[in-house]
Amino acid sequence: MPDTTVFADVAHEPGVAKPDPILVADGVVRRFGGLTAVDVSHFEVQRHTITALIGPNGAGKSTFFNLLTGFDQAQEGAGTFDGTALRRMPPHKVARAGMVRTFQLTKALEGMSVMENMRLGAQHQPGESLLTAFAPPMWKKREAEVTERAEDLLQRFKLYEKRDESAGVLSGGQRKLLEMARALMASPTMVMLDEPMAGVNPALTESLLEHIVELKDEGMTVLFVEHDMHMVRRISDWVAVMAQGSIIAEGPASTVMQNPAVQDAYLGEHHDTDLSEDQS
């Protein structure tokens, strides 16, 4: 459940400094031809919290996400993750530094089994280098550790029974769970979830929410992009609102939606609708 004590002394304004930021973005600009998709002057994510990034369609949330995770490169500015400069860092190095993402369009590797999907998430597997791959004794031990951890996670995400099946047979929601569990295999310090609820049936929503809260309980930091305001209210400690490429408001979920700038940008003409209702 939202925990705002750490934010007690933080002003509710865009670009505000946090007591202990794990991720900092500074002057990040990304243009596509004449269109400025992202222009974030300053943004910080507090460590050990769940931060939501919301905004209307086309606000630049996903582009900003891609810039932070190395999947796209900014023309100006850069981010810092846990003291490491992210500028020009390729995505796999961002992931190795401890910031692991998921995708809006779920990327379960459908030709592989659920277990192989999980094992692929593990780091420090010597057998992933071509020369040691020839010599199983050099990687079997690590493989056993990896498998054990994968089994634990699959149990937790209720996918254990599916472990030997092809990931292609999973439902949309189960793929989301698999993708999240696979990201955890990399032992990240920060998890970036791009629309974790998109296409998930309501029966699974609840367990997905619990899993995300568990990430925080285990000491990880979560930043997620989401449309579903229900979910944002339920689990996020802090909300940042993007519109037209910039962060226009920040604050706890309960207050940020009262901000007139957010209502203008995010809801346009629908000021009167009850914000607590699911928009869909």
Partner 1 sequence: MDILINALDQMLAPATAAFAIAAIGLNFHFGLTGLLNMGQAGFMLLGMYGYAISIREGLPMWAGILVAIGVAMVFGLLLGWPTLKLRGDYLAIVTIAAAEIVRYVGRSNSLIDITGGSLGIKGNDYKDPLESLSPFPDERITIGPLTYHGSASDSWWLRVVAWTLVAALLVIFWRLSNSPWGRVLKGIREDEDAVRALGKSVYWYKMQALIIGGVIGALGGIIWAHGSAVVADSMGRPTTFWIWTILLMGGAATVFGPVLGSVLFWSALSLVRAVSKAFIPESILPSTAIEPFGLMLVGTALILIVVFRPQGILGNKRELAFHA
- Smallest distance, Å, CB 70 to partner 1? 8
Interface mask (CB under 8 A) for partner 1, residues 170-209, using x and -? ---------x--xx-xx-----------------------
100 near partner 1, rule: CB under 8 A: yes
- Smallest distance, Å, CB 73 to partner 1? 13
Report whether 193 contacts 180 (CB < 8 A). Answer: yes
Order of all β-strands in the sheet with 35-46:
35-46, 21-32, 76-81, 84-85
23 near partner 1, rule: CB under 8 A: no
Residue 148: how many CB atoms within 10 A of its CB?
10
73 near partner 1, rule: CB under 8 A: no
Residue 102 vs 246, nearer CB to partner 1 = 102
- Smallest distance, Å, CB 91 to partner 1? 4
CB half-sphere exposure, 125, CA atoms < 13 A: 19
Q: Which two tokens stand for residue 223?
A: 């930043």
Residue 114 and residue 165: Cα distance in Å, rounded?
6
Specify the amino acid at residue 1: M
Residue 72 and residue 166: Cα distance in Å, rounded?
30
- Smallest distance, Å, CB 230 to partner 1? 27
Q: Which two tokens stand for residue 83?
A: 């003291």
* Positions in the binding site for partner 1 (CB under 8 A): 69, 71, 90-93, 95-96, 100-103, 107, 109-112, 116, 119-121, 123, 125, 127-130, 133-134, 136, 139, 143, 166, 168, 179, 182-183, 185-186
